[in-house]
Amino acid sequence: MDEKSGYESEEALLELDGVRKYFSQESGLLAGVQFEPSQFPPVSVDRETVKAVDDVSLEIQPGETLGLVGESGCGKSTLGRTILRLLEPTDGDIYFKGENLADLGGEELRQTRSDMQMIFQDPQSSLDPRMKVGQIIEEPMRAHDMLDDEGRRARAKELLEKVGLDPRHYNRYPHAFSGGQRQRINLARALSVDPDFVVCDEPVSALDVSIQAQVLNTMEKLQEEFGLTYLFIAHDLSVIRHISDRVAVMYLGHVVELAEKEELFENPQHPYTRALLESIPVPDPRESGPRGVLEGEVPSPVDPPSGCRFRTRCPRLIAPDAYDWSEEKWAQTRAFMRAVKRRTFEPMPAARIEAEFFDDTLPRGEPGSVVEEAIDLVAADRDAGEDRDDEVERWEAATELLLEAFAERSICARERPAYELESEHGSGKHAAACHLHR
């Protein structure tokens, strides 16, 4: 039992239930500026909603490190900040030690704030250059009325030693320290108020690779010693692999896969996770087989795809149930649809498109007719008599035709996936948000 709160530690330390964080911002388009003479001021600007974190539910157990990984802009930092209430959630509940954070006020909230700390990526800018290291570490204790001057000084010196720095450097300024040492100062400051939970937002990504492992090792040692729970945010999979017990993979505001570390790395079940893992550079060039590349752009979080958010880039997009076709014909159609959408081939005669994309045989039945119509729109040898629209419009029309007939009818577009799988490694749960597991 935790003396401070009476909370029993078999429960999750932190529980997120349907957490959303949306930002409202100006649309940034000139077209979004409206002139409305009947109102004052007569000009209004369209606002759009950025769905940075969109319905995330997960639990973090006491003493564990949950790694949170995903490409830049997928919402990792926003989720971390929302958990700490540095940002107000748009929707959903966050329970810390069984208490809904939204229900806390006054002294309870103050106490909880000191129980949850955060360290940031850039150790340079998060340390005030005019303050001595000792003062920096003591600052949170002072803010929470912890100990007296002497007690704080003693604790700061002790913490300097614990994070691997020389306590005699208590009176130095941050500029006298290296990047790795500054991140250690940050750690000491976060730990000064004796937190249970620390959100670590890319804490080592600004450091040299050789220094990263040392700082990570110190973080692991401190976790053990202080009984800390970490939410560890990083885009670098090798860092995530080093430090995590379990890993959550985030894509465009959703958690798409969550499993124990070994299970996630050895038995990834979401095509996005697989693509991420395959994009890790291989140290041995002889091993460089075909690499799964993440094709296409990440869609905008203002207007994310329906259903599975990864579907617009997914190499395994599922064939629409409405048609009956072979795996081969669907794979060819999917490749053609993507190539038209991204305009990755030069105009060529219809027969060559059929040969290159479909091995000279189009799918049978209705899908075949749709494909034929699309080929006709983009082929170089199309009937000149019909050539009314310009080229861009024809490629757009072909894209729309293919997407509407195939991509939008896939289960991947129609339903948001969520499946619980058997783990091959370890006994933990394995969640994968992919309809391949339906």
Give the interface with ligand ATP as residue ranges (CB under 6 A): 23, 25, 50, 52, 70, 72-78, 235, 301
- Look at the block and give the residue holding tokens 């697989």: 274
Residue among 169 and 235 whose Cβ is closer to ligand ATP? 235
Residue among 303 and 321 whose Cβ is closer to ligand ATP? 303
Residue among 82 and 332 whose Cβ is closer to ligand ATP? 82
* Minimum CB distance to ligand ATP, residue 82 (Å): 9
Q: Are 273 and 282 in contact (CB under 8 A)?
A: no
Residue among 153 and 235 whose Cβ is closer to ligand ATP? 235
Comparing C-alpha atoms, which of 104, 134, 126 is closest to residue 116? 104
Residue among 75 and 123 whose Cβ is closer to ligand ATP? 75
Residue among 58 and 402 whose Cβ is closer to ligand ATP? 58
Q: Does residue 47 sit in helix, strand or coil?
A: strand
* Minimum CB distance to ligand ATP, residue 195 (Å): 21
Q: Are 153 and 138 in contact (CB under 8 A)?
A: yes
CA distances from 67 to 62, 133, 200, 288, 346 (A): 14, 29, 10, 27, 43
Q: Does residue 305 sit in helix, strand or coil?
A: coil
Residue among 75 and 417 whose Cβ is closer to ligand ATP? 75
CA 108 – CA 381 distance, rounded (Å): 73
Residue among 50 and 163 whose Cβ is closer to ligand ATP? 50
* Minimum CB distance to ligand ATP, residue 85 (Å): 15
* Minimum CB distance to ligand ATP, residue 23 (Å): 3
- Look at the block and give the residue holding tokens 């017990």: 245
* Minimum CB distance to ligand ATP, residue 87 (Å): 8
List residues bridging with 65 in a β-sheet: 230
Residue among 75 and 305 whose Cβ is closer to ligand ATP? 75
- Look at the block and give the residue holding tokens 């007569």: 42
As to burial, measured by CB atoms within 10 angstroms (0-12 exposed, 13-18 middle, 19+ buried), residue 171 is: exposed
List residues bridging with 95 in a β-sheet: 15, 100
Query: E-strand spans in 90-189?
Result: 91-96, 99-100, 116-119
Residue among 76 and 157 whose Cβ is closer to ligand ATP? 76
Q: For the range 182-185, what are the long-range contacts, defined as Cβ-Cβ under 8 Å and sequence gap of 24 or more?
A: 182/123, 182/124, 182/127, 183/119, 183/123, 183/207, 183/215, 184/215, 184/218, 185/123, 185/127, 185/133, 185/136, 185/137, 185/160
CA 77 – CA 197 distance, rounded (Å): 16
* Minimum CB distance to ligand ATP, residue 143 (Å): 25
Residue among 50 and 275 whose Cβ is closer to ligand ATP? 50
Q: Are 422 and 259 in contact (CB under 8 A)?
A: no
* Minimum CB distance to ligand ATP, residue 74 (Å): 4
CA 72 – CA 242 distance, rounded (Å): 20
Residue among 280 and 380 whose Cβ is closer to ligand ATP? 280
Q: Are 83 and 281 in contact (CB under 8 A)?
A: no
As to burial, measured by CB atoms within 10 angstroms (0-12 exposed, 13-18 middle, 19+ buried), residue 90 is: middle
CA atoms within 13 A on the CB side of 434: 25
Q: List, as one string, the DSSP characters of 67-88.
A: EEE-STTSSHHHHHHHHTTSS-
CA 405 – CA 407 distance, rounded (Å): 7
* Minimum CB distance to ligand ATP, residue 73 (Å): 4
* Minimum CB distance to ligand ATP, residue 250 (Å): 7
* Minimum CB distance to ligand ATP, residue 280 (Å): 17
